[in-house]
Structure 1
Amino acid sequence: MKAMYDAYEPLPILEKFPLQIETITAYDGNLVVGTKQGHLLMYSINSDSTSRMKINLLRSNKNFSRKPITQIAVVPEHQILISLSDQMISIHDLTVFNFPLLSTLQETKGAVAFDLDIKHNISLTGEAFVTVRLVVAVRRKLQFYYWKARQFHSFEKDLSLNDTPKSLLWCGEAVVVGLRYDYWLVQLTGEQKELFATGRSQQPLMTKLSDNCLAVERDEKTIFIDTDGKTVCNNLEWKEQPSALIYDEPYIIAIVSKSVQVQSQNPILHIQTIDIEKPKFLTYAVTNKNKKQVFVASATHIWSLCPVPISIQIPQLLAAKEFTFALKLADLWDECTKSKENMKQHIEKLHAFHFFCQHDFVGAMKLFYELNTDILFVIGLYPDLVPEEYRARVSYPHPVPVLPEDQLKMRQRLTKESSNQTSTLSPSVKTVPQKLQIIDTTLLKCYLKTNDSLVVPLLRMPDSRVSDEEGEKVLRQAQKYQELVLLLRIRGYHSRALEFLLRHAKKEDSPLYGHKPTVQYLQKLGPDNMKHIFEYGSWVLKSFPEDGLKIFIGDDDPSEVESLPRTRVLGFIKKTQKSLAIPYLSKAKRREVREKLQKFLKVSEHYTAATILVHFPHNDLFEERAILLGRLGQHQVALKLYIDTLLDVYLILLKLLLRTSRNTSPCSSSHGSPLVSSIAKKEDGREINYEVVIFDILKNYWQRIDLAQALKSLPDDMNIQNLKSYILRSLIHLTTMQKDNQIVRGLSQVILHQAKSELSSTQMQKILLSDKTVCCVHFI
Structure 2
Amino acid sequence: MAGDAYRAVPILEKLPLQIESMVAFEPHPTNQACSALDHHGGAGSSSSKLHLIVGTKVGHLLMYEVDLRNPNERVQLLRSSKGFSKKSLTQLGVIPECGILLALSDSVITVHDMNVFNFPIITQLERTKGALLFAVDCKKQTSQTGVISTIVRLCVAVRKSLQLYYWKNRKFLELGEDLALPDFPKTISWCGESLFVGVRKEYFRLTITGRLYELFPVHSPNEPNILRLEDYKVALGQDNKLVILDSNGKPAKSNMLEWSNHPSALQFDPPFLVAVLPCYLEVRSLDPDVLMQTISLSEGSRSNRPRLLAWASVGHIFVASTSHIWCLEALPLHRQIPLLLENKEFELALKLNSMRSHPGVDQEKLYQSIQMLHAFDLFVRLKFKESLEVFHELGTDPSHVIGLFPGLLPQDFRSQLSYPGDLPQLSGMDLEDGLLALRDYLTQVRYKLLDESGSNNRSGKEKVRKLSSNPILEGAPTIKSRERMLQIIDTTLVKCFLATTDSLVASFLRLKDNHCHMEETELALKKHQKFDDLIILYQTKNQHRKALEILRSPLLKSTSKTVDYLQRIAKDHFELTLEFAEWVLKEDPEEGLRLFTEDLPEVECLPRAKVMSELEKRCPALVIRYLRHVIEVWQDQNQLLHDVLADRYLKEILDLISKPSSDPDQVDSSQKLCQFRHDFVEFLEASTRYSPEKILVKLPFDSFFEERAILYGKMEQHEKALAVYIYLLVPQQRPSGAGMTLVFREGIQRSVAASLSSLVCCSFMVVSFARLPSAPAGQRAASRDVRERQQKARKRPRDCELQRRARVTAAGGRYR
TM-score, normalisation: structure 1? 0.68
Counterpart in 2 of 1:588?
627
Distance 2:153 2:595 in 1: 98
Counterpart in 1 of 2:650?
none
Q: Which runs of 5 or more structure 1 residues have no equivalent in the other structure?
A: 599-780
CA contact (8 A) 1:185 1:194 kept: yes
Identify if the C-alpha distance between structure 1 residues 547 and 393 changes in structure 2 by more than 3 Å, giving closer, same or farther. farther
Greater CA drift, 153-162 or 426-435: 153-162
Q: Which of 138, 151, 155 is the matching residue for 1:135? A: 155
Identify if the C-alpha distance between structure 1 residues 403 and 109 changes in structure 2 by more than 3 Å, giving closer, same or farther. same
Distance 1:466 1:273 in 2: 57
- Which runs of structure 2 are paired with 1:195-214 in the superposition (5 Å)? 195-210=215-230, 212-214=232-234
Distance 1:27 1:189 in 2: 32
- Matched position secondary structure for 1:443: helix
Distance 1:124 1:546 in 2: 88
Counterpart in 2 of 1:546?
589
- Which runs of structure 2 are paired with 1:468-617 in the superposition (5 Å)? 468-500=518-550, 504=553, 507=554, 510-512=555-557, 521-526=565-570, 528-538=572-582, 543-544=586-587, 546=589, 549-550=592-593, 553-554=596-597, 556-557=598-599, 559-574=601-616, 576-577=617-618, 580-581=619-620, 583-596=622-635
Identify if the C-alpha distance between structure 1 residues 588 and 420 changes in structure 2 by more than 3 Å, giving closer, same or farther. farther
Counterpart in 2 of 1:152?
172
CA contact (8 A) 2:612 2:626 kept: no
- Which runs of structure 2 are paired with 1:644-723 in the superposition (5 Å)? none
- Matched position secondary structure for 2:356: coil
1:414 aligns with 2:438: yes
1:385 aligns with 2:411: no
Q: Which of 195, 211, 235 is the matching residue for 1:191? A: 211
Shift of 1:216: 2.0
Distance 2:88 2:390 in 1: 57
Shift of 1:582: 6.3
Counterpart in 2 of 1:309?
332
Q: Which of 351, 354, 363 is the matching residue for 1:340? A: 363
Counterpart in 1 of 2:772?
none
1:283 aligns with 2:310: yes
- Matched position secondary structure for 2:634: helix
1:167 aligns with 2:187: yes
- Matched position secondary structure for 1:283: strand
- Tell me the alpha carbon deviations over residues 550-590 of structure 1, each in whole angstroms, 9 at most, x when there is no partner: 38634x4465443433444444555x44xx44632541233
- Tell me the alpha carbon deviations over residues 447-478 of structure 1, each in whole angstroms, 9 at most, x when there is no partner: 32233333333333222222111122222222
Structure number with higher relative contact order (C-alpha < 8 Å, ≥ 6 residues apart)? 2
Distance 1:185 1:534 in 2: 89
RMSD: 3.2
- Matched position secondary structure for 1:596: coil
TM-score, normalisation: structure 2? 0.65
- Tell me the alpha carbon deviations over residues 169-204 of structure 1, each in whole angstroms, 9 at most, x when there is no partner: 233344333322223334433333333322212422
- Which runs of structure 2 are paired with 1:114-129 in the superposition (5 Å)? 114-123=134-143, 125-129=145-149
CA contact (8 A) 1:13 1:53 kept: no
CA contact (8 A) 2:268 2:311 kept: no
Distance 1:172 1:471 in 2: 60
Distance 2:112 2:51 in 1: 16
Identify if the C-alpha distance between structure 1 residues 539 and 319 changes in structure 2 by more than 3 Å, giving closer, same or farther. same
- Matched position secondary structure for 1:190: coil
Shift of 1:220: 1.4
CA contact (8 A) 1:168 1:177 kept: yes
Distance 1:336 1:567 in 2: 85
Report the AA paired with residue 243 of structure 2: I
Shift of 1:33: 0.9
Report the AA paired with residue 309 of structure 2: L
Report the AA paired with residue 147 of structure 2: E
- Matched position secondary structure for 1:354: helix
Counterpart in 2 of 1:15?
13
- Matched position secondary structure for 1:461: coil
Shift of 1:357: 2.5
Counterpart in 1 of 2:60?
39
CA contact (8 A) 2:51 2:64 kept: yes
- Which runs of structure 2 are paired with 1:390-469 in the superposition (5 Å)? 390-410=413-433, 411-421=435-445, 422=448, 424-426=467-469, 428-469=478-519
Identify if the C-alpha distance between structure 1 residues 593 and 346 changes in structure 2 by more than 3 Å, giving closer, same or farther. same
Shift of 1:255: 0.3
Identify if the C-alpha distance between structure 1 residues 53 and 197 changes in structure 2 by more than 3 Å, giving closer, same or farther. farther
Identify if the C-alpha distance between structure 1 residues 365 and 149 changes in structure 2 by more than 3 Å, giving closer, same or farther. closer
CA contact (8 A) 2:273 2:284 kept: yes
Counterpart in 1 of 2:274?
253
- Tell me the alpha carbon deviations over residues 734-763 of structure 1, each in whole angstroms, 9 at most, x when there is no partner: xxxxxxxxxxxxxxxxxxxxxxxxxxxxxx
Distance 1:151 1:517 in 2: 93
Report the AA paired with residue 550 of structure 1: L
- Matched position secondary structure for 2:505: helix
Counterpart in 2 of 1:88?
108
Counterpart in 1 of 2:778?
none
- Matched position secondary structure for 2:323: coil
Shift of 1:297: 0.8
Shift of 1:124: 5.1
Identify if the C-alpha distance between structure 1 residues 336 and 466 changes in structure 2 by more than 3 Å, giving closer, same or farther. farther
Percent of paired sites with the same residue: 39
